[in-house]
Amino acid sequence: MLRAMSFRRALGTFDATMIVVGGIIGAGIFINPYLVARRLSSGSLVLAAWVAGGAIALAGAFAFAEWGARMPRAGGQYVYLREAFHPLVGFLFGWASLLMIQGGGLAAVAITFSEYALRLAGQSNRGTTILSVAALAALAVVNVLGVKPGSRLLNGLVVLKILALGLLIAGGLFLPAEDARAVSAVSPFPGGSGPTAFGAALIPILFSYGGWQGANVIAEEIREPRRTLPLALLAGTAIVIVVYVLVNVVYLGALGRDGLASSTTPAADAVARIFGPRADRLIAGAIAISTFGFLDLTLLAHTRTYYAMARDGLFFPSLARLHPRFQTPTLAIVMQAGWAVLLVLTGTFGDLVDSVVFADWIFFGMTAAGLFVLRRRPAGQTPETFRSPGYPVLPALFVIAAALVVWSAIRSNPGRSAIGAALLAAGVPVYVFFARRRPREAA
């Protein structure tokens, strides 16, 4: 084996739950709900869509909870896809994660963080690139120093994020109803009420609910992972569902359905109506905190995927080495941060960001589908670990929802989806190269 030492089990249930919450709540809930309102004709349908999206996300969390309880290994989704289908499938997930899902996402979110942090400080956007690179470098250092420092920083950021959203929710509950009617007098977006409109509205909702799988990736750094992972996944996803639904109640109360559909910055507009026009810094601060937390989470958790690939002999061997003192995959962290910095400096991350959803939801759907493979095997018949409730209906519905998201991504941006498909295809010869060279004991 390439592993010389093991990870330190330093994270408890609260840490893992904050990883789940932090992985789901990003900048999307502050911006994207207007897309949902544009596709549906009433506020009640908008709320119903967010509840339905939460139910689908919970079905996905159930599937990942069963995988995590059965295989609590570093690498998470990479390991599940490798075991359910073939090492090539797991490798392609890791390859897509490095180049697109996490790499492109890191670069794009770093830019978003910098823009809102500078706005919060009252500065121009001229320093966006420098601040983005500095943020990525600083967080790489924090996460090299140990899983606990990165987790503590993330815990604080997630708590602040929830407090900011809680303030928005609490303020919105006291907004007089007539204010919303004044905002929504005229709208060029009538929306629909049939199954097609409802399905279209679910697409941006499912985008916003994605990201619960971070805790699975660091399973070897969690205490009692067979018990902790299911608790964290279900509790964290449930928290996000409640927050998302209540935030949309506030948006609709402050702006009305028509006002929400007409606003591309619903959080800022809602805050202005609730707390006054000078409160825009609240949203700038909330988005800066939220995006900084996403950067920390990505370098904390998802870099373990490359470590697991290297441990299997399917990536650069040096990535499977842990720091002798801090017990972190230092080179994997540096590689992911360095790739994101390169994308920021060259400005090419935009070519990859639109491919993120295409790639991410392919593997989400395949991971849930892998449960059907797992349950057919003798090891999958053991009842002592967590088992996804509602099997086989809930996993099947989640697979269908994932397919719908991928189809929508292809339809809405075929060019970017083609880039994603090409990058995935490019991973095949890379896999063949490493598979032929890996030591026999790692095979």
CATH number at residue 188: 1.20.1740.10
pLDDT of residue 289 exceeding 80, the answer is yes
* Between residues 179 and 396, the one the model is more confident about: 396
pLDDT band at 142 (very low <50, low <70, confident <90, very high): very high
What secondary structure does DSSP assign to 370-421, as a single string?
Answer: HHHHHHHSGGGG--SS---TTTTHHHHHHHHHHHHHHHHHHHH-HHHHHHHH
pLDDT band at 389 (very low <50, low <70, confident <90, very high): very high
Please check whether residue 327 lies inside any domain of the structure.
Answer: yes
Region 255-281 average pLDDT = 88
Cα separation, 313 vs 433, whole angstroms: 11
pLDDT band at 177 (very low <50, low <70, confident <90, very high): very low
Cα separation, 227 vs 79, whole angstroms: 19
State residue 190 phi and psi, 5-degree precision.
-70, -30
| Buried-state track 29-65, b at ≥16 Cβ within 10 A, e below 16 | bbbbbbbbbbbbbebebbbebbebbbebbbbbbbbbb
CA atoms within 13 A on the CB side of 425: 6
Please check whether residue 443 lies inside any domain of the structure.
Answer: no
Q: Quick check: helix, strand or coil at residue 192?
A: strand
Contact 143, 328 (CB under 8 A): yes
| Total domains, the chain | 1
* Between residues 244 and 417, the one the model is more confident about: 244
Please check whether residue 6 lies inside any domain of the structure.
Answer: no
Q: Specify the pTM.
A: 0.91
* Between residues 226 and 412, the one the model is more confident about: 226
Please check whether residue 8 lies inside any domain of the structure.
Answer: no
pLDDT band at 265 (very low <50, low <70, confident <90, very high): confident
Taking CA atoms, 304 is separated from 44, 47, 331, in Å, by 41, 36, 10
Please check whether residue 107 lies inside any domain of the structure.
Answer: yes
Query: What pLDDT score was predicted for residue 3?
Result: 45
Please check whether residue 434 lies inside any domain of the structure.
Answer: yes
pLDDT of residue 179 exceeding 60, the answer is no
**What percent of the chain is predicted at pLDDT more than 90?**
64
Contact 333, 144 (CB under 8 A): yes
**What digits encode the pLDDT tens for the residues 27-60?**
889 888 999 999 999 999 999 999 999 999 999 9
Please check whether residue 189 lies inside any domain of the structure.
Answer: yes
Q: Which of 179-188, 369-378, 409-418 has the lowest mean pLDDT?
A: 179-188
**What digits encode the pLDDT tens for the residues 320-376?**
999 999 999 999 999 999 999 999 998 777 667 667 778 889 999 999 999 999 998
pLDDT of residue 2 exceeding 50, the answer is no
Taking CA atoms, 368 is separated from 59, 78, 85, 219, 399, in Å, by 9, 13, 12, 18, 6
Cα separation, 47 vs 230, whole angstroms: 27
pLDDT of residue 441 exceeding 80, the answer is no
Domain of residue 228, residue span? 13-438
The chain-wide mean pLDDT, for the chain, equals 89
